[in-house]
Structure 1
Amino acid sequence: MDWIPLDYCIETERLTLSIAQADEIDFVWEATQYPGFNDGMVWGTPSSKEELEAIVGNVAERWSRGDGYLFTFHDQASDNPLGRIVVEQRCSGWSVGFWTHPKWQGAGYASEALGGVLRFCFEVLKLKLVTACHAEWNLASRKVLERNGFRFKVRIEEGFEKNGEWVAQDTLSLSRDQWLATR
């Protein structure tokens, strides 16, 4: 895999996806302040913007190492940020995760952003398999994944701990061959 430049962008029908920027912290902070927004995420609701910055980490460093690509997806017409999506290397391979700001949920932006990121995964990164996990009750995330061809693999009853309790997590995957078959 070749090094991916920091100014790399993905274009879809309505969206532009580019490397997440530090100056977008107000956008991310606003999303985290909606009740329930963080319930299905492994990270809790941050209590300050400084704590949020620590959660996000060094995006450019991970990008340059080639082990994580965090994109912000923007509306092409207005340039408004709508959400974020990441593809990152984990112990078991490559995984995607995403969220849409609550103001913009329900308009198909996450599905469209994931479609663009999958093209990046399979055509640029040359990955063979991509996985994704979601809280088992998060049917909206499951629908986004299934619309893009992901298939259920396994439920992990103790997927992640949240507020002292275990949250069951579903794992789905999509192979390059499955993705190509739908093109």
Structure 2
Amino acid sequence: MRDTTPNDTHSVLEELATATQGADSTESYDITIGTVEDATHDIEADIDELMKQVRGALPTDDVQFDEAIVKENLEEVLLMLISLHGETHGKELLSDLSQFFGTQLSPGTVYPSLHALEDEEVLSMHAKVRTKEYAIDDEDAVRGRVERTMVQHLAFGLLLYAFLPRL
């Protein structure tokens, strides 16, 4: 565990921003939604890089997501995975959830979320011969949704962090 105290002049949020943008970056972040052309690349490297940034911004290397938090944020997780793939199908998403988040979610949990996102016109679905392929349909909606969820989680984490000295 790193030596970090709640009274550091450098806030956790500033550390997170520095770790994810790079120390010399003054520009805001840019999310690039995947395309069909780059859908064949290995998203494992992308997930590994994202997790490396998360671990670098936190005072611990032990970062794990339990199944409850993945379920609570399933739509945002699915949007992230679909964005990284460019276009993908439900079976691959179930595999990704298991591989990258250690969760064993049922199709009865994942597919209703995909259908809800499609109904909200955030995703588009293309029927193939034996499967349905999902792709991001509204990048602005994805960005807004992910940002709102991120701010809520950061705020809650910072609240808990501020509370720690009182224990």
TM class by smaller structure? 0.3 to 0.5
More RCO (CA 8 Å, sep 6+): 2
Q: Which has the higher helix share?
A: 2
Q: Which has the higher strand share?
A: 1
Query: TM-score when scaled to structure 2?
Result: 0.32
Structure index of larger Rg? 2
Query: TM-score when scaled to structure 1?
Result: 0.30
